[in-house]
């Protein structure tokens, strides 16, 4: 008997500049993107409506509470269920991403609060996101207003539960850049009357607070990139420099505005600066011509992005443009004879009974998992309130919030301009803002639930990425198998975070006969510098913690070799040794494959049937640390890359590892490296794990013209969380279509061939 393993897979498109692009995929814990209405089961592949989620206005069944122990003593009897209550309906869950209407109202409210017309005219909107509420508000919402409707999980109070009649108003947080004054401000807007405003009423929300943030630069916007390109192309000295390189047609020129980072006081945030990289397409008649195959080097350009003026220009060295590479393009009409391969047969995902997941608004149930999903312009996909429904023990929380909060790509070539390629793709730009629409059959297969994402553009308008996130299932191979008397079990109940790296290499030009050891020659006159990709996952854990509880701790596990002697007479002994990380100073750790190092997040008050604390373990995959020297300039802003794991006590303002505004940040070690100096205690706390993982990319010819997908990531696996494998109740499965039924015969070579 064998059971096939399934996964609920949630691709969220996210592409950043050139080779630093990466599509972020979370597995085994489903999630989705922003959606304004509570659509239920609106699948793309099928119109089945027979298994819709029950109406949330008439649900009163309760799930038994989790059995809790103050220590390792015998289990206490389960508490009696409370009396059923009539549950209330609200239009938006406190964790739902802002709708398009809410974004519009928030922007209008801030504009109306502008002191003068000049201030209002100068406002540019970097980010408008939900101000996520405190956790007790989320607990109330999940207990009485929204799925999973579980009042039993709330703390018991003397005299019975206090049942609210409504939830607090939702709030928006806005980051606003004033183009006139070069100032950045943060606004909080209450959205209690958003619906009146959308119906044509006079109410526009209420400003709760506004704060001017000195000495910072917010992320760049796509509108600024376009304006920068136009300004550079119109600059006479630039046109003359391009003419020296044989280019008169400015339509062939590509100007990529890169943030300057912070290398000296000249990069201070009192000015909004960019240093563009220049590329040149070969064929003006082909809009898909790969311009990154012809980098233009030898020019120094500094752009004042506030006033959109070139403030420094120098044609330092005439480096000839690389010759047109015949393999530069990635469309079949341009390479390899102009035709697609014909030896690939269609692969279809068939789900005759529909999907196993259910969606109600932003609440997702997949088998025994349930959670909420969100989306922000900076992080992209966010997963909230992850929990596992474990029979009579009910809904057992695993984590409060999971997301990718930063991506840094440092290059290893000391030559100009490559030494300053140190993109912070989240903090300087935005992972979510760079997402693209996913397509059926290419990004997602089978039954698909799509979610749109809404965000503001630079001028305050609302933009929507349709099908930004898709939810679907995939067959992940064998889950477990029983054959005769031997049994092998694969762990289930795990959450996998996977990043797929793909994109176009950011190349450099070589002069005839030149060789550089800091990269790979891709084509005559072209080379790709070595570089690294780093990702930071922020995980606010809640292993077996009900609302209001903070009973987690982190232990490091290393496998050690037993010393030869009486206890190791055969010299074969090794064992796992645990060390509890009791404070933040002890919890800055690095991976160690030689000792199979991993970390376990445990609940200190709940035990399994063996008396051991329940937990989840963080299991690294392949990883690396920065190869740049400790005095590298980009590490001033990215000190969080110096360790693979950081653990902090939860604090509301600690969201991004390099601080909120890493663009042109002159302050050393802002963010994680500063927060851990408080050395807060980590035992029985609301804890946050920051896992830093990366890939060292030594380019190869096969990465050109578009790099095939390379995977990296990590897993969260149950470790004593269950009393046995949670997969044993998965029914056996078998394919309904085998070789015999499909007219496929086995050749003598062992290959399959079909009758044509």
DSSP string, 548-595: T---EEEEEEEEEEPPSBTTBTTS--EEEEEEEE-BGGGGEE---GGG
Question: Mind listing the pLDDT tens digit for each residue in 424-459?
Answer: 999 999 999 999 898 766 778 888 999 999 999 999
Is the confidence at residue 43, as pLDDT, over 90?
no
**What contacts 392, CB < 8 A, 6 or more positions away?**
64, 78
255 vs 166, residue with greater confidence: 255
Q: What's the rounded Cα separation, in Å, for the pair 90 and 164?
A: 12
Lowest mean pLDDT among 364-373, 488-497, 653-662: 488-497
Structural domains of the chain, with CATH: 2-76+87-111+353-718 (2.70.98.20)
Is the confidence at residue 53, as pLDDT, over 90?
no
The upper half-sphere exposure of residue 228, i.e. CA atoms within 13 Å in the direction of its Cβ, equals 26
Q: What is the pLDDT of residue 64?
A: 29
120 vs 90, residue with greater confidence: 120
Lowest mean pLDDT among 201-210, 283-292, 346-355, 500-509: 201-210
- Quick one: pLDDT band at residue 491, thresholds 50, 70, 90? very low
Average pLDDT, integer, range 232-248: 97
Question: Mind listing the pLDDT tens digit for each residue in 168-219?
Answer: 999 999 999 999 999 999 999 999 755 444 545 554 689 999 999 999 999 9
Question: Mind listing the pLDDT tens digit for each residue in 108-135?
Answer: 999 999 778 878 889 999 999 999 999 9
Classify the phi-psi angles of 215: left when phi > 0, otherwise alpha if psi is within -120 to 50, otherwise beta: left
Q: What is the DSSP string of 29-43?
A: S------SS--BS--
Using alpha carbons, select from 720, 38, 686 the residue that is nearest to residue 401.
686
pTM of the entire predicted model: 0.85
- Quick one: pLDDT band at residue 145, thresholds 50, 70, 90? confident
Lowest mean pLDDT among 547-561, 625-639, 730-744: 730-744
How many CB atoms are closer than 10 A to CB 323? 13
Q: What is the pLDDT of residue 47?
A: 26
Q: What is the pLDDT of residue 12?
A: 63
Average pLDDT, integer, range 60-82: 34
Question: Mind listing the pLDDT tens digit for each residue in 650-663?
Answer: 999 999 999 999 99
The 8 Å CB, 24+ separation contacts for 725-728 are 725/480, 725/489, 725/491, 725/492, 726/368, 726/388, 726/390, 726/492, 726/493, 727/3, 727/5, 727/479, 727/480, 727/489, 727/490, 727/492, 727/493, 728/480, 728/489
Question: Mind listing the pLDDT tens digit for each residue in 294-313?
Answer: 999 999 999 999 999 999 99
392 vs 247, residue with greater confidence: 247
Q: What is the pLDDT of residue 443?
A: 78
């Amino acid at each position: 008997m064998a059971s096939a393993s399934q996964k609920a897979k949630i691709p969220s498109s996210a592409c950043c500049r050139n080779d630093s692009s990466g599509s972020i995929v979370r597995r085994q814990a489903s999630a989705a993107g922003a959606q304004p209405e509570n659509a239920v089961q609106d699948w793309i592949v099928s119109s089945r409506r027979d298994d819709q989620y029950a109406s949330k206005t008439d649900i009163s069944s309760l799930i038994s509470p989790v059995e809790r122990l103050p220590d390792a003593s015998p289990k206490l009897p389960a508490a009696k269920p409370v009396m059923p209550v009539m549950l209330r309906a609200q239009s938006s869950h406190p964790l739902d991403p802002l709708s398009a209407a809410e974004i519009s109202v928030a922007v209008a409210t801030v504009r109306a609060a502008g002191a003068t017309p000049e201030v209002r005219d100068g406002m540019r909107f970097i980010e408008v996101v939900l101000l996520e509420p405190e956790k007790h508000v989320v607990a109330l919402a999940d207990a009485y207003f929204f799925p999973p409707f579980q009042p039993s999980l709330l703390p018991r109070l003397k005299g019975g539960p206090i049942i609210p009649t409504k939830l607090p108003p939702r709030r928006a947080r806005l980051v606003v850049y004033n183009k006139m004054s070069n100032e950045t401000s943060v606004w909080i807007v209450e959205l209690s009357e958003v619906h009146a405003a959308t119906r044509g009423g006079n109410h526009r929300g209420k400003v709760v607070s506004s704060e001017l943030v000195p000495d910072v630069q917010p992320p760049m916007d796509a509108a600024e990139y376009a304006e920068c390109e136009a300004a550079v192309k119109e600059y006479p000295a630039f046109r003359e420099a391009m003419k020296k390189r044989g280019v008169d047609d400015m339509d062939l020129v590509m100007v990529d505005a890169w943030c300057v980072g912070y290398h000296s006081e000249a990069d201070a945030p009192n000015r909004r600066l960019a240093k563009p990289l220049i590329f040149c397409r070969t064929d003006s008649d082909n809009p898909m011509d790969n311009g990154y195959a012809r980098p233009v080097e030898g020019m120094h350009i500094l752009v004042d992005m506030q006033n959109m003026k070139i403030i420094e220009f120098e044609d330092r060295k005439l480096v000839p443009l690389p010759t047109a590479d015949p393999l530069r393009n990635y469309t079949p009409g341009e390479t390899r004879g102009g035709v697609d391969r014909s030896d690939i047969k269609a692969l279809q995902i068939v789900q005759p009974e529909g999907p196993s997941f259910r969606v109600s608004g932003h609440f997702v149930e997949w088998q025994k998992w349930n959670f909420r999903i969100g989306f922000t312009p900076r992080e992209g996909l966010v997963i909230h309130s992850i929990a596992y429904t474990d029979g009579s023990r009910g809904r057992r929380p695993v984590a409060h919030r999971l997301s990718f909060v930063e991506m840094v790509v440092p290059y290893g070539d000391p030559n100009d301009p490559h030494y300053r390629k140190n993109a912070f793709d989240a903090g300087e730009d935005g992972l979510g803002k760079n997402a693209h629409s996913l397509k059926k059959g290419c990004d997602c297969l089978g039954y698909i639930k799509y979610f749109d994402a809404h965000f503001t553009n630079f001028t305050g308008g609302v933009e929507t990425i349709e099908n930004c996130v898709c939810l679907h299932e995939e067959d992940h191979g064998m889950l477990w198998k029983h054959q005769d008397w031997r049994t092998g079990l694969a762990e289930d109940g795990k959450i996998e975070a996977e990043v797929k790296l793909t994109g176009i290499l950011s190349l450099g030009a070589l002069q005839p006969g030149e060789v550089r050891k800091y990269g790979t020659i891709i084509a005559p006159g072209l080379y790709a510098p070595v570089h690294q990709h780093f990702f930071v996952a922020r995980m606010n854990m809640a292993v077996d913690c009900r609302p209001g509880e903070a009973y987690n701790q982190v232990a490091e596990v290393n496998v050690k070799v037993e010393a030869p002697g009486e206890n190791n007479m055969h010299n074969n002994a090794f064992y796992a040794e645990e060390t509890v990380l009791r404070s933040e100073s002890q919890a800055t750790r690095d991976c160690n494959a030689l000792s199979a190092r991993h970390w376990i997040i445990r609940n200190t008050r709940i035990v399994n049937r063996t008396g051991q604390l329940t937990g989840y373990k963080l299991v690294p995959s392949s990883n690396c640390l920065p190869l740049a020297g400790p005095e590298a300039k980009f590490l001033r802003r990215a000190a969080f890359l110096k360790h693979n794991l950081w653990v902090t006590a939860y604090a509301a303002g600690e969201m991004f590892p390099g601080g909120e505004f890493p663009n042109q940040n002159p302050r050393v070690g802002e963010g994680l490296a500063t927060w851990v100096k408080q050395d807060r205690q980590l035992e029985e706390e609301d804890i946050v794990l920051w896992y830093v993982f990366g890939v060292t990319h030594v380019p190869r010819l096969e990465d050109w013209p578009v790099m095939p997908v390379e995977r990296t990531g990590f897993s969260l696996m149950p470790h004593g969380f269950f009393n046995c494998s949670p997969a044993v109740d998965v029914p056996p499965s078998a394919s309904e279509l085998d070789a015999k039924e499909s007219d496929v015969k086995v050749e003598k070579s062992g290959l399959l061939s079909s009758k044509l």
